[in-house]
């Protein structure tokens, strides 16, 4: 009886670990996670529409809401941010080139208040 109870306990613990690992893996891919996404942007140059194919950073980063908001102590917000480079596209018959950003890598990082609004978003955000 005691050996059976111990085995059941260890099996239960292993199952909890497997489930926790699966939930974390799905959260990284599904609701949370910051990753590159391919997009196309139509741009008009010299009277013709050109399609720019580039990458952006997309996704949500895990944040905990504080119970009490203090004006002296601003909570740290993490945002999906990336490293960027710029590419130039030339179109045939047009002297104007198009310079556009390309995300090369993405990660969750601390929100930089110098170039980003880091306050709370008071809007309905659908859940995953």
pLDDT tens track for 92-113: 888 888 999 999 999 998 888 8
Quote the CA–CA distance of 57 and 90 in Å, as a whole number. 24
Q: What is residue 45's three-state secondary structure?
A: strand
Query: Please, which pLDDT band fits residue 20 given cuts at 50, 70 and 90?
Result: low
Q: Work out the number of other CB atoms within 10 angstroms of the CB of residue 60.
A: 17
Could you tell me how far CA 17 lies from the centroid of its own chain? 26
Top-confidence residue, 98 or 20: 98
Q: What does the pLDDT look like over 71-84, one tens digit per residue?
A: 677 667 788 888 99
Quote the CA–CA distance of 63 and 77 in Å, as a whole number. 6
Q: Is pLDDT at 118 greater than 80 in this prediction? A: no
Q: Average pLDDT of the chain?
A: 76
Give pTM, 2 decimals.
0.59
Q: What is residue 81's three-state secondary structure?
A: strand
Kind and range of the H or E element at 100? strand 98-110
Q: Work out the number of other CB atoms within 10 angstroms of the CB of residue 3.
A: 7
- How do beta strands 98-110 and 78-89 pair? antiparallel
Mind giving me the DSSP string for 107-125? EEEE--TTTS--S---S--
């Amino acid at each position: 009886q005691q050996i059976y109870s111990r085995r059941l306990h260890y099996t239960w613990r292993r199952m909890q670990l497997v489930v926790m690992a699966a939930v974390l893996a799905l959260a990284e891919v599904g609701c949370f996670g910051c990753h590159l996404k391919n997009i196309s942007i139509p741009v008009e140059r010299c009277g013709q529409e050109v399609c720019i194919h580039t990458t952006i950073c997309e996704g949500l980063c895990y944040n905990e809401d504080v119970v009490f908001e203090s004006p002296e102590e601003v909570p740290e917000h993490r945002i999906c941010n990336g490293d960027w480079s710029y590419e130039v596209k030339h179109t045939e018959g047009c002297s104007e080139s198009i310079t556009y950003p390309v995300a090369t890598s993405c990660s969750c990082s601390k929100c930089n208040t110098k170039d980003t609004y880091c306050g709370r978003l008071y809007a309905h955000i659908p859940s995953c």
